[in-house]
Structure 1
Amino acid sequence: MRGPFKVGDRIQVGSFNGDVVEINFLDTTLWEFSGNLMTSDLPSGRLIRFPNSLIFQNQVYNYSWQKFPLVWNEISFYITYKSDMDWVENEIRQICLSHLDAKTKDHIQDMRDQISETPVEGIEIKEFPFINFRIHENNWVEVVLIYIVDPKLSSQTRSDIVKAVIPALLKEPAKVSFAPEGS
């Protein structure tokens, strides 16, 4: 029987988030991630067992779909207007790429192909990862890094990128300055 997920997939059914560890005729068991105990994508240690009838009553989100097993992730950094935006964009992009595993890099073209096959026009990926800039009301610029990642590695990858980007940007005070504390 075709199902919306298999053992090992990272899913959300209703308010339940978890990695599927067991599927039986009557129920499914998830190893919870996020939830009440954790705010990250790491397993909380709790098991969630729910009746399979919930699958027909709720949306099912599969974060590890076989055709495209990655999810979008984003990180924000805050800099001043005086910063060299092109340099910051390039530096963050290169650091992010250096922290993505080979499996993820292999899927970048798959992602481009899937987006180009959608009926939605105007979506084109020229550079990856994406870097978007937003003006904030407190007179600073939010730099948003958007990239794809294995859903089970999302928290660790985010942490690794942050730990690499901040020191790299701090090394170049002539090219980038940060929003003052308390703004």
Structure 2
Amino acid sequence: MQQARFRLRAFRKASLIAVALTSLLLLVVGPTEEALAQDAGVTATEDTSVEPKRQLQPEEVAREAGAEAQRTALGLRQGLLNALPKLTVVLGTLLLTWLVARGSRALLHRVLGRWARADASTALVSICVWLLGTGIAVSVLAGDLRAMLGSVGLVGLALSWALQTPIESFTGWLLNSFQGYYRVGDRVQVGDVFGDVYAIDFLSTTVWELGSPERPGAVHAEQPTGRLITFPNNEVLTGTVVNLTRDFPYVWDELLVPVANESDLRYALELLLRLATELLGEDMAGPARQYETLLREARLETSVADKPEVYVSLADSWTNVTIRYLVHARQRRKWKSLLAERVMVELNQPAHAGRIIPVLPRQQVQFLGVDGRPTDVPGSRRE
């Protein structure tokens, strides 16, 4: 089904391009107005003076067909010869347009320098120059403003249908260039693609892929997989762009530590908070102040913790203690691994035995008496 849709779409695009090229060809080598008027006069004269024709023989039909083909070829040849001066002017106009576009790009690059939107501005100026030059060239070919507008409209409609995806991708590149959704070096997630931006072209963007738990078969962490992924820039228009490092390269991360319900919960909270503060407290202070400043400028909540925090939530048969902390987006796995190692080593110390009980798989077996009521049997509950 998908293959049939793809073939139908390709046939539609090819048909539109063929119509556009045919109209352009007729515009270049079509007969002139004088030739059309002369043919109309000849036809009218023949219609008034014609007598009933006799039935032609096969040899005469063949000669008439050959003569008609010769007249058609001569007409096309004459139309091309008549269009040679126009074609010379058109080629000169396109050459001048190319020189002006190239000179304007060089001038704008020198004036704008390393401005973030210099490439997009230069591209827009070049497009305007080419549109102006192409309009002048088509007007010279058509010789009539109405014919020019009709031909340009037909060609533009056909190309817009046939080149829909490239046009959307180029629009996405322009929008990203001026809005700055992501730059080279940013860590982004666009649709299903997650990685560091490697290159941004007019029609596509290339990223170094990063692993994530949501992508089966990849590295299950935010570390490079070694693969390059290229996606069209129209994803900016149709998808969601998540940038982890554009304005603030730090993100909140969490480590979940389950403890048994029989544990000393307050003691466990104090211990885990102390371990996280010793490891991450100093590195969190500066980013927390920067984060608070950004939130204040955006008129959002400004109460940002400058030290790790712990939270408690209930599970089926144990208690989850969540350690929340602020780390650099490119170092999430490193700090989570260090914190998990320190927590596990500390919880195995003899000083915490009996106060912080780890969670083990549990299975409860319940026996029913003869009357169908539960019966307490020693050892019916195992941990």
Could you tell me the TM-score, scaled by structure 1's length? 0.84
1:36-79 Cα offsets, whole Å, 9 max, x none, are 4111111111101112121111110001122x211121111111
Letter in 2 for 1:176: I
- Runs of at least 4 residues off by over 6 Å: none
Question: Which structure's residues are more often helix, by fraction?
Answer: 2
**Is residue 29–residue 49 contact of structure 1 (8 Å, CA) maintained in 2?**
yes
Alpha-carbon distance, 1:156 to partner:
1.6
Deviates more, 1:124-133 or 1:151-160: 124-133
Amino acid corresponding to residue 90 of structure 1 in structure 2: E
Residue number among 74, 92, 106 corresponding to 2:286 in the alignment: 106
Which residue in 2 is equivalent to 1:45? 226
Which residue in 2 is equivalent to 1:150?
328
**Counterpart for residue 186 of structure 2:** 9
* Contact 1:13–1:59 (CA under 8 A) maintained in structure 2: yes
1:72 maps to 252
1:105 aligned partner, one-letter code: A
Q: CA deviation at 1:117?
A: 6.3
Q: 1:126 to 1:56 in 2, by over 3 A?
A: closer
Instruction: Give, in whole Å, the separation in 2 of the partners of 1:15 and 1:124.
Output: 33
| Aligned with 1:88 (options 259, 265, 268) | 268
Q: Is contact 1:11-1:19 (8 Å) kept?
A: yes
Please state whether the residue corresponding to 1:153 is helix, strand or coil. helix
Identical-residue share of aligned pairs (%): 26
Residue 359 of structure 2 is matched in structure 1 by: 179
C-alpha contact (below 8 Å) 1:11/1:60 kept by paired residues: yes
TM-score, with normalisation over the residues of structure 2?
0.43
Q: For the residues of structure 2 that align with 1:54 and 1:42, how far apart are their CA atoms?
A: 23
The question of 1:58 aligning with 2:239 is answered yes
SS of 1:21's equivalent? strand
Partner SS for 2:237: helix
Letter in 2 for 1:64: T
The structure, 1 or 2, with the larger RCO (C-alpha pairs under 8 Å, 6+ apart) is 1
Query: Following the alignment from structure 1 to structure 2, what is the Cα–Cα distance between the partners of residues 113 and 87?
Result: 34
Q: Would the alpha carbon gap of residues 144 and 107 (structure 1) be closer, same or farther in structure 2, given more than 3 Å must change?
A: same
Paired letter, 1:29? T
- Residue type matched to 2:251 in 1? V
Is the 8 Å Cα contact of residues 69 and 150 (structure 1) preserved in structure 2? yes
CA contact (8 A) 2:263 2:357 kept: yes
- Conserved in 2, the CA contact under 8 Å of 1:70 and 1:149? yes
1:132 alignment partner, one of 311, 317, 331: 311
1:25 is matched with 202
| C-alpha contact 2:254 2:324 (8 A) present in aligned 1 | yes
SS at match of 2:321: strand
Question: Which structure has the highest strand share of the two?
Answer: 1
Paired position in structure 2 for 1:160? 338
Where does the alignment leave 5 or more consecutive residues of structure 2 unmatched? 1-116, 118-177, 364-383
Going from structure 1 to structure 2, the CA distance change for 1:132 and 1:117 (only over 3 Å counts) comes to: farther
Unaligned runs of 5+ in 1: none
Count, aligned residues: 180
Structure 1 116/129 Cα, relative in aligned 2: closer, same or farther at 3 Å? farther
Structure-2 change in CA distance of 1:136 and 1:11 (3 Å): same
